[in-house]
Amino acid sequence: MLEKAGVTTVYSETYAPDTRNFDTITNAMKAAKPDLVVHGASFEDGVGMIRSMLRAGLRPHWLYQTTAPSLGQQYADAIGPANTEGVAFAISHTPEANTPGNAEFVAKYQEMFGEPPPEDAADGFAAGQMIAAAVKGVGRIDQTALADWLRNHTVSTVLGDLSWDDDGRPEGEFLIGQWINGEARIILPKQYATAEQPVLGWQPMGAKS
């Protein structure tokens, strides 16, 4: 997608899931002088990569990671709060998002369980909303009819508006977040944003010891 937008790939690497030392990868990235680093990462490798980048003095203008930055204070504690500023990420749900019915969902979950809902809970709730809408639309429990209905309708959920293609794949927009002033905020889509404007790039302040 980035290449179609005119961005040139200067380095690409796939590593084993159990990788713990990222120094070789980081040094290769630094030599390629990237303006943007996009890292598909869970928590452990996301943290490990940033620690390695900080040690190597690799400071791309933009840094995007999947999953890891969405884990809130755990992520900030792991890499150092001062190093989170401007890190971008994607997430399906956040309690603060201004998506349809989200405020009510979050309040009820908080009432029942004493804490904000995690992403997986919201995903499950959205699946329930999808099924409920389809059953109401079809008027009966019929798997084939429900699938056909979903392929031709958009459903408003706590994840935003979702629709499905002819093969049953969901079509929608993930929320794009960014760490701003020590908090993970939503910056895109604009109608669901919880921050007035994004930070212009990754702005780490120093390596965590």
At 61-111, the pLDDT tens digits run 999 999 899 888 999 999 999 999 999 999 888 888 888 899 999 999 999
- Given a cut of 80, is residue 207 above it in pLDDT? no
Q: Are residues 148 and 162 located together in one domain of the fold?
A: yes
pLDDT for 44 equals 95
Over residues 2-29, mean pLDDT = 95
Helix 102-113 and helix 119-138, axial crossing angle in degrees, nearest 10: 120
Total tally of structural domains belonging to the chain: 2
Judge whether 97 lies within some domain.
no
Q: Are residues 154 and 190 located together in one domain of the fold?
A: no
- The sign of the dihedral angle between the CA atoms of 165, 167, 168, 170 is negative
Q: Tens digit of pLDDT for each residue in 132-191?
A: 999 999 999 999 999 999 999 999 999 988 998 888 788 877 889 999 999 999 998 888
CB 8: neighbour CB atoms within 10 A? 8
pLDDT for 190 equals 86
pLDDT for 208 equals 44
Q: Are residues 82 and 178 located together in one domain of the fold?
A: yes
Q: Are residues 16 and 5 located together in one domain of the fold?
A: yes
Judge whether 203 lies within some domain.
yes
Q: Are residues 12 and 87 located together in one domain of the fold?
A: yes
Q: Which helix (H) or strand (E) is 52 found in, with range?
A: helix 43-56
Question: 200: domain CATH number?
Answer: 3.40.50.2300
Paired with 170 in beta bridges are 164
Host domain of residue 161: 102-171
Mean of the per-residue pLDDT values for the chain? 92
Q: Are residues 35 and 120 located together in one domain of the fold?
A: no
101 touches 156 (CB < 8 A): yes
| 30-34 contacts at long range (C-beta below 8 A, 24 or more positions apart) | 30/56, 30/57, 30/58, 34/10, 34/60
